[in-house]
């Protein structure tokens, strides 16, 4: 499979599809083709890191996802507890008649150039014919979710010469991008130790460690 045009479909009776379509339509019409490609590439970067990530973001897009919840998701997948911060409890009840009517779907065109094809095509080649359309949809919607978190996020993932390859690298990138939105882990409470000269010495904070790491990354 080579670079070119690929088709994917968003269904009118699926709330997740309609939310992704609303995100796409919020972008200026001349830029939508580029946006769809960027979203798909960003989703492919997530899939390469962990095959569960795009589908989990698709599932979470049924409600409101914020930066703390995304960071918490990465922490859960890593098996750590540092950033597990949940948002306010919300409910999304079924409402009669919301999705009734004629079955319709919207066809979108994904145009892959040589650069983006190197990231997306290997994933499609590795998928069966039955899985391919579902995978394309998952990648693109995951990219839309990242756009809702911060419009810079999918563009950054799609344009980095060496995108993050592990959950730890992705979480470090997330901490740098959302440094004002994602609360850092609580510092362990330690008893100050008196030095020989009577001065207190305290361990370096987690915040300073994250800042130093992000300076190296960027």
**Segment 73-100, tens digit of pLDDT:** 888 888 775 444 444 444 444 555 655 5
pTM for the model: 0.70
**Segment 165-214, tens digit of pLDDT:** 999 999 999 999 888 665 544 444 444 444 444 444 444 555 555 456 55
**Segment 95-147, tens digit of pLDDT:** 556 555 555 667 777 878 777 888 888 888 888 877 888 889 999 999 999 99
How far is 142 from 15, CA to CA, in rounded Å? 14
Contact in structure between 49 and 41 (CB atoms under 8 Å): no
Q: Domain extents for the chain?
A: 5-91+100-189
- Strand pairing category for 193-194 and 105-111: unpaired
- Pull the structure tokens for residue 52: 């569960």
Which of 115, 143, 161 lies closest to 44 in space, CA to CA? 143
C-alpha separations of 191 from 82, 117, 200, 201 in Å: 21, 54, 10, 10
- Pull the structure tokens for residue 43: 């989703």
3-state secondary structure of 71: helix
């Amino acid at each position: 499979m080579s670079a070119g045009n690929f088709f994917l479909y968003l269904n009118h009776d699926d709330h997740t599809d309609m939310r992704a379509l609303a995100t796409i339509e919020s972008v200026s019409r001349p830029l939508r083709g580029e946006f769809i490609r960027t979203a798909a590439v960003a989703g492919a970067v997530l899939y390469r890191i962990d095959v569960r990530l795009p589908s989990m973001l698709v599932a979470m897009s049924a409600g409101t996802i914020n930066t703390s919840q995304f960071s918490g998701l990465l922490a859960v997948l890593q098996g750590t507890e540092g950033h597990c911060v949940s948002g306010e409890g919300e409910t999304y009840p079924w409402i009669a008649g919301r999705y009734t009517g004629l079955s319709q779907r919207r066809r979108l065109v994904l145009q892959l150039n040589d650069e983006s094809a190197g990231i997306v095509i290997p994933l499609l080649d590795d998928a069966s014919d039955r899985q391919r359309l579902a995978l394309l949809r998952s990648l693109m919607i995951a990219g839309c979710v990242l756009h809702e978190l911060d419009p810079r996020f999918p563009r950054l993932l799609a344009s980095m010469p060496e995108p993050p390859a592990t959950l730890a690298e992705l979480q470090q990138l997330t901490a740098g991008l959302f440094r004002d939105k994602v609360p850092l882990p609580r510092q362990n409470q330690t008893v100050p130790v008196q030095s020989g000269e009577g001065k207190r010495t305290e361990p370096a904070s987690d915040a300073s460690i994250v800042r130093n790491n992000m300076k190296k990354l960027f």
